[in-house]
Amino acid sequence: MAMLAQRVHRNVHCQIDAGRTALRGWRQILKGVLALLFFSLLSLQAGTVAAQDFPTKPVRWIIAFSAGGPTDTIARLVSAKLTEAWGQPIVIDNQGGAGGTIAGAMTAKATPDGYTILYVSASHAIAPSMYKALPYDSVSDFTAITIIATTPFVLVVGHGVPANTVAELIALAKAKPGQLSFASSGSGASNHLAGELFKTMTGVDIMHVPYKGQSQTTADLMSGAVSMTFGSPVQTLPLVTAKKVKLIAVTSRTRFFALPDTATIEESGVKGYESATWHGALGPRGMPRAIVDKIQREMSRALHMPDVQASLTKLGVSAVGSTPEEFSTLLKTEVPRWSEVAKRSGVVPQ
């Protein structure tokens, strides 16, 4: 009995010691959690204070396109309003070339403090399908701020092309495989993939002809050197008005506000077809949320000012001003979507 009592005594003490050890462990964990919560609150408070003061110096807005085009024009419209609101200059830095990847690489390496912003278009989501070794990840290496605007392409053909509707164009292309061609503003550009999507969804064989400038594209389209293009409204519709090219359809899922009487490609029989380009603002990965929200709010406010709206309408674009989450979701959707289109089209990454 004495030995049994000793064993029970030892077991009780062992359980008590184990309980004390476990309690000390839980106390340490609780201290760690409280410390983490404390520093997180400090960090959040510091970010909020920083956002209240932001910006205290010029903000660099890198534009992934050359000066003078529609994208550059939109950026300057918005940046002028940001300068007025913040009392700090927004410095436009045009870094065109390589499908926007030069500007992307510069931004991805920048300090995520809100003083470097990147203006991109849909080509940002297409780039992973066009280049073998991008120096950044188009989604994870950036902080989404807002979708600035959207616009469809307009499908036009030269007067030498005997087609006036999408159905007639498809029939012509199938009757003459490889003989029709479509111009784009470069391999990997949004209107290049718009053409590739059209080819894969209709089963036609149309040759892609990349260009570096709109002027040469226009000249060759009017002369018949190329058959068609998926052009931006602001650059292409004046040619339609002047009767230098024929308007066939618009590429958005719904009708374009500037062309309410023009059918979409989907309405014309290609079910599910949609290819609209978008414009957006990104920052480097890791930007404080409070600063992201401040930039987003001010951009959205600027985009919906009457004078900015009027200018955007003339450019054929619709203002958006989305939340960061909506833009992040768009990016995560667009990258795999265009990757699949590129693969089906046989596009070989450079």
In tens, the pLDDT along 208-234 reads 999 976 778 889 999 999 999 999 998
Both 123 and 175 in one domain: the answer is: no
CATH assignment of the domain containing 177: 3.40.190.10
Handedness of CA 245, 249, 251, 256 (dihedral sign): positive
- Beta partners for 18? none
Output the pLDDT for position 4: 46
In tens, the pLDDT along 89-102 reads 999 999 988 878 99
Both 167 and 243 in one domain: the answer is: yes
Mean pLDDT calculated for residue range 126-136:
92
Both 233 and 296 in one domain: the answer is: no
The end-to-end CA distance of the chain, in Å, is 85
Is the model more confident about 31 or about 142?
A: 142
In tens, the pLDDT along 51-85 reads 789 999 999 999 998 888 888 999 999 999 999 99
Both 68 and 148 in one domain: the answer is: yes
Is 46 a residue whose pLDDT tops 60? no
Both 131 and 83 in one domain: the answer is: yes
* Secondary structure (3-state) at 42: helix
Is the model more confident about 35 or about 187?
A: 187
Q: Last residue of a domain, which of 235, 250, 265?
A: 250
| Average pLDDT value for the chain | 89
Is the model more confident about 344 or about 93?
A: 93
Q: How far is CA 254 from the centre of its chain?
A: 20
Output the pLDDT for position 60: 98
Both 63 and 208 in one domain: the answer is: no
Angle at 137 between CA 133 and CA 141, to 5 degrees: 140
- Determine the Cα–Cα distance for residues 329 and 290; give it in Å rounded to an integer: 19
**Within 10 A of 335 (CB to CB), how many other CB atoms are there?**
19
Q: Last residue of a domain, which of 250, 267, 289?
A: 250
Output the pLDDT for position 12: 47
Both 120 and 162 in one domain: the answer is: no
Residue 293 maps to a domain: yes
Residue 261 maps to a domain: no
Angle at 186 between CA 185 and CA 192, to 5 degrees: 80
Percentages helix, strand, coil for the chain, rounded to the nearest 5? Answer: 50, 20, 30
Output the pLDDT for position 145: 98
Output the pLDDT for position 9: 52
Is 247 a residue whose pLDDT tops 50? yes
Both 140 and 162 in one domain: the answer is: no
Is the model more confident about 70 or about 240?
A: 240
Number of domains in the chain: 2
**β-strands 116-121, 276-284 pairing:** antiparallel
Both 246 and 182 in one domain: the answer is: yes
Mean pLDDT calculated for residue range 235-245:
94
Q: Last residue of a domain, which of 198, 216, 250?
A: 250
Place of tokens 């989450």: 325
> Phi and psi (nearest 5°) for 144?
-70, 135
Is 6 a residue whose pLDDT tops 70? no
Is 38 a residue whose pLDDT tops 80? no
**Four-CA torsion 161, 166, 172, 174, nearest 10 degrees:** 140
**β-strands 318-319, 142-152 pairing:** antiparallel
Residue 86 maps to a domain: yes
Share of the chain above pLDDT 70, in %: 85
In tens, the pLDDT along 159-182 reads 999 999 999 999 999 999 999 999
Residue 202 maps to a domain: yes
Residue 13 maps to a domain: no
Residue 174 maps to a domain: yes
Both 160 and 227 in one domain: the answer is: yes
CATH assignment of the domain containing 297: 3.40.190.150
Residue 43 maps to a domain: no
Residue 213 maps to a domain: yes
Both 159 and 246 in one domain: the answer is: yes
Handedness of CA 221, 225, 227, 230 (dihedral sign): negative
Largest CA distance in the chain: 112
In tens, the pLDDT along 147-160 reads 999 999 999 999 99
**Four-CA torsion 32, 36, 37, 40, nearest 10 degrees:** 170
Domain, as residue range, for 213: 154-250
Both 125 and 76 in one domain: the answer is: yes
Output the pLDDT for position 265: 98
